[in-house]
Amino acid sequence: MAEASINPTSLIGGFWVFVYGLMVYLPACTVPGDRPATPPRWWHYPLAVVLPLIAAIPVVPVVVLLRKWLGVQLFPGT
């Protein structure tokens, strides 16, 4: 989601397939079939998207203050 928010064309890039895809696919293939794991419920998927965004909200003021204190410019020259 972070890369897509910066550049939407990265959604069709090979980086998603060959890096992120393998990071998820290969470990998932090594899990034994007789493992007593419960499948994720439907509400786990929205939580996986919403909770990181909510957790980032308290970090924003810290980053803004730290950026001003250090004198860091996000987009220099614009």
Tens-place pLDDT, residues 16-44:
667 777 787 888 788 887 878 788 899 99
- Cα separation, 15 vs 7, in Å, equals 13
Residue 57: domain span: 2-70
- Cα separation, 30 vs 18, in Å, equals 18
76 in a structural domain: no
75 in a structural domain: no
Residue pair 1/8 in contact (Cβ under 8 Å)? The answer is: no
Per DSSP, 7 falls in state -
64 in a structural domain: yes
Average pLDDT, the chain: 80
Q: Across residues 46-75, what is the average pLDDT? A: 88
Q: How large a percentage of the chain has pLDDT more than 70?
A: 78
77 in a structural domain: no
Residue 54 has pLDDT above 90, yes or no: yes
Q: Across residues 49-72, what is the average pLDDT? A: 89
Residue 62, CA atoms < 13 Å, CB-side half-sphere: 5
34 in a structural domain: yes
